Amino acid sequence: MEWPTKAVDWAIIFGTIFTGLLALYAYCGDWLRKKRNSPKLRVELHEPWGHNTKEYVNEITTAGPKNSSINARYYSIRVWNDTKATEAKRVRARVLFLIKKNSSGIEKVTPPAPLHFIWAATPGDDPPYLSYIPTYDNFSIGRVWENEDHFLLKTNPTRASFPGKILRGETAIVVIEVLSENALQPVQVYLQIDWREPTNSDLWGSTAPFITKISEREFKRLTQKEQTTCAVK
């Protein structure tokens, strides 16, 4: 190996190194600015017991169409954008999989295709999304009707091959992923849904769905004894 002996050789070497360092600095600077300014999503449980409302449905009877109302309870989570300088754009949320536990054992159910929750702002879009989130927004993950014995995940579409119903007496863990087109990475949330005796008079029914947010560590602990795995095809 021959070491450079002329000043011009050293100039070329140092010039090459300096150019490389400048390029690296520019790249790292852009990456750091993007990371600092990109939306940072955070998901929190908003209503563990849900909120009561009326849902209006159209029925076809022998006398013709009939409008009626049903007591309903909707459950929501709240999506925060912790980077207030940049709005999170085209935010959507989807079900990754569902784990159900009942008298028959434990079953993991994976949707055959991405199932997105329906944002109220864009019910007709597929997949549904919210145009932007400056600070936070809420969206419903499911509902229960007074005359029914199951909790229904509100996804678009509600595929017949995906059992998105959690029957009275069942316990389920729903794994949800929230994404944004300009966030650096998606965020996952683990929600446990079970049926409990209501704690106040505003909640109808002998038992009602109650939602708890659990950590990833708790999720792994609860599911490590999984007995059966069933992927819906």
**Burial class of residue 96 (count of CB atoms within 10 Å of its CB; 0-12, 13-18, 19+):** middle
List residues bridging with 196 in a β-sheet.
208
| CA–CA gap between residue 180 and residue 182 (Å, rounded) | 6
Contact status, residue 196 vs residue 207, Cβ threshold 8 Å: yes
Residue 22 predicted with pLDDT over 80: no
| CA–CA gap between residue 74 and residue 152 (Å, rounded) | 10
Between residues 222 and 219, the one the model is more confident about: 219
pLDDT in tens, 64-80: 777 888 899 999 989 98
Looking at the chain, the whole-number percentage of residues with pLDDT higher than 90 is 20
CA atoms within 13 A on the CB side of 109: 22
Residue 88 predicted with pLDDT over 70: yes
pLDDT category at 48 given cuts 50, 70, 90 is very high
Query: Tokens standing for 14?
Result: 């140092």
What is the arithmetic mean of pLDDT over 128-143? 82
Contact status, residue 205 vs residue 191, Cβ threshold 8 Å: no
pLDDT category at 231 given cuts 50, 70, 90 is very low
* Pairing of β 115-117 and β 155-156: antiparallel
pLDDT category at 229 given cuts 50, 70, 90 is very low
Amino acid symbol at 196: R
Residue 177 pLDDT: 93
Q: What are phi and psi of 129, to 5 degrees?
A: -150, 165
Between residues 95 and 1, the one the model is more confident about: 95
Between residues 185 and 229, the one the model is more confident about: 185
pLDDT category at 178 given cuts 50, 70, 90 is very high
Residue 140 predicted with pLDDT over 50: yes
